[in-house]
Amino acid sequence: MTTVAPRHPLGAGRGGAGAGMLAGLRRRRLLVVALLVALLVLACLASVAVGAKAIPLGEVWSALVAPTGGENDIVVRALRVPRTILGIIVGAALGVAGGLMQGHTRNPLAEPGILGVNAGAALAVVIAIYTLGITSLLGFVWFAFAGALVASVLVFVLGSVGRGGATPVTLALAGAAVTVFLFALVQAVILLDQQALDVYRFWVVGALSGRDPAVIVAVLPFMAAGLLLALAHAPGLNALAMGEDVARALGQSIPRTRVVGVTAITLLTGSAVAAAGPIAFLGLVVPHVARYLTGPDHRWLLPNAALLGASLILVADVAGRVVVRPGELQVGIVLALVGAPFFVALVRRTRLMTL
């Protein structure tokens, strides 16, 4: 008597097809990463080559590889290169922070400022200006970062009160309440002091220009720590996306996952806001585009959000230098003008609204 071995319910053919689909998905994701890297390289080249002062491409190249100390060399090396580097790290930080925020809150309209980070940084800045007379960005960058940190901790503590602990809903509500309260204090301070109002207006618009290169050195360690935490946090966020019960069944600690996520968001957003001021729209839309390109897997979504955020902020900065030449339009204004209609178009797509 011949015995027939049982077959897998899916069949060998289906197993092979499934493996082929996974391989195809991986190839597509790698292709997207390659294209985004190429886009970032082009954006960096445009950021270095284009500005209020017209410099021929040959002289831009000469300033980068064989500087002679001329005026064009100073413009390229002392102004445009640091500005480009700042745009890369700020855009990457806000893009990743937005992806984390939307993943934790399960809210397609969530953005990094929902934890009160922007409001906390703004209040610390105006207090530093009003009480200590600090007017330089390098002088109050630490105040902005400290204010962002204190605000996010306050939101997390308030959102954790109660039997259920920190949940997406309680964090969002606590963030909204703290943001309104802190911005009310900001308005009260700037009404008391004209100097505080003038300096604050320049900072709050969000810009890459006029930043001392030392600011990059000051915030870079915090951004690097936030990015490392975010990437290490991606598998836990994937488990959390399937529901808290499933995440617990897979061995995830929900409170620890929340704490790590909030810490990464605070480090990334706080350092970005301290360096460039509050820049709207970026952390809101970039994760949607990254999710559309690579799917909901945060192991791919977060790196792609970093690349997209860096590219988008550089492109917006270059556009701001061109449209009102020889003047400049700050990057925060450009992103706000372009971002609103672009985001309306995005949210009309059902698949981008589903997290």
Q: What is the pLDDT of residues 192-244, one digit of tens each?
A: 877 777 778 878 888 898 888 888 998 999 999 999 999 998 988 888 888 77
Span of 180-189, 267-276, 297-306, 332-341 with lowest mean pLDDT: 332-341
pLDDT of 54 reads 80
- CB count within 10 Å of CB 5 equals 4
pLDDT of 353 reads 47
Count Cβ neighbours within 10 Å for each residue of 106-126 and write b for 16 or more, e otherwise: ebbebbbbbbbbbbbbbbbbb
> In this structure, are residues 15 and 8 in contact, taking their beta carbons and an 8 Å threshold?
yes
> In this structure, are residues 128 and 194 in contact, taking their beta carbons and an 8 Å threshold?
no
Residue 311: pLDDT band (50, 70, 90) is very high
Span of 119-133, 147-161, 246-260, 337-351 with lowest mean pLDDT: 337-351
Taking Cα atoms as reference points, which of 290, 297, 305 lies closest to residue 241? Answer: 297
Write out the two tokens for 218. 């000051």
Count Cβ neighbours within 10 Å for each residue of 309-340 and write b for 16 or more, e otherwise: bbbbbbbbbbbbbeeeeeebbbbbbbbbbbbe
- What is the chain's alpha carbon radius of gyration, rounded to the nearest angstrom? 23
pLDDT of 35 reads 96
Taking Cα atoms as reference points, which of 339, 332, 258 lies closest to residue 90? Answer: 332
What are the pLDDT digits (tens) for 71-103?
A: 888 888 888 999 999 999 999 999 999 999 888
Residue type, 126: V
Residue 181: pLDDT band (50, 70, 90) is very high
> In this structure, are residues 51 and 321 in contact, taking their beta carbons and an 8 Å threshold?
yes
| Degrees, nearest 5: CA angle 174-175-181 | 90
The length of the chain is 355
Count Cβ neighbours within 10 Å for each residue of 187-204 and write b for 16 or more, e otherwise: eebbeebeebbebbeebb
> In this structure, are residues 103 and 316 in contact, taking their beta carbons and an 8 Å threshold?
no
101-308+319-353: which CATH topology? ABC transporter involved in vitamin B12 uptake, BtuC (1.10.3470)
| Degrees, nearest 5: CA angle 183-185-190 | 95
> In this structure, are residues 310 and 43 in contact, taking their beta carbons and an 8 Å threshold?
yes
Q: What percent of the chain has pLDDT over 70?
A: 91
Residue 17: pLDDT band (50, 70, 90) is low
